[in-house]
Amino acid sequence: MSSADTAGFTLVYEDDALLVLDKPANLLSVPGRGSDKQDCLSSRVRKCYSNASIVHRLDMGTSGLMLMARSAAVQRMLNDAFAHRTVLKRYEAVVNGLLEPSVESDNGYWQEISLPIALDWPNRPCRVIDTYQGKPSVTRWQLISVDLAAGTSRLRLEPLTGRSHQLRVHLKAIGHPILGDALYAPTAVAAASARLLLHATELALTHPVNLKPIRWVSPAPF
């Protein structure tokens, strides 16, 4: 067993420039406020890789692939890549209700949700759709399968923007909240799963040092 395993995280990829981790569900990405919120993926990783720095985050309930930089220079380059939307991020989710592919195509057809998102100040940290003050937010989705008996759909998701809670808010807005989502789903849908059924399945980018395309995949554990 490697030191990464004993430190409480799963290391997917390592080189001198960056790390790729597979975050478990119900673990913070970075420390929160209060002594009870100090255990997080970044703290665990830094015990083994003292130069590792966060580049992007996943919600506590979301599992899957996360990227960390191993120098300030690489962190800046990766931050720029995310800002310029040159990093491909894909997720998988199980949502309430039966979605259908477009009548124009089969299940391989990508559809789009374009709804502006703003912080819901009275109910922080929740977000809401706000056509006046919200920031432009775009999510692509693709139907993978449906479970007729359970009344659920499995989706592939690709956020083209990076708003907090974007996937969860967008899916709620179209009437298909994610199972296990205590913030955005009705009580029965939130209780349908012990965890949020959202997993970061894919990351792809140009390596910031050697400039070669690189891609990682983590199958959804649900």
Kindly state the DSSP code that residue 73 receives in the 8-state scheme: H
Query: Taking the chain, what is the end-to-end CA distance rounded to the nearest angstrom?
Result: 25
At residue 88, what is the residue type? L
| C-beta separation of 127 from 118 below 8 A | yes
Torsion of CA 158, 163, 168, 174, to 10 degrees: -80
CA separation for the pair 14, 196 (Å, rounded): 28
Which tokens belong to 33?
């406020």
CB 162 within 8 A of CB 118: no
Query: Do 196 and 178 contact (CB within 8 A), yes or no?
Result: yes
**Which residues are CB-neighbours of 145 under 8 A, at least 6 positions away?**
107, 153, 154
> Token match 């300030």: residue?
72
Are 93 and 154 in contact, with CB atoms under 8 Å apart? yes
CB-based contact 92:217 (threshold 8 Å): no
Query: Residue type for 148, please?
Result: L
Active site residues: 59
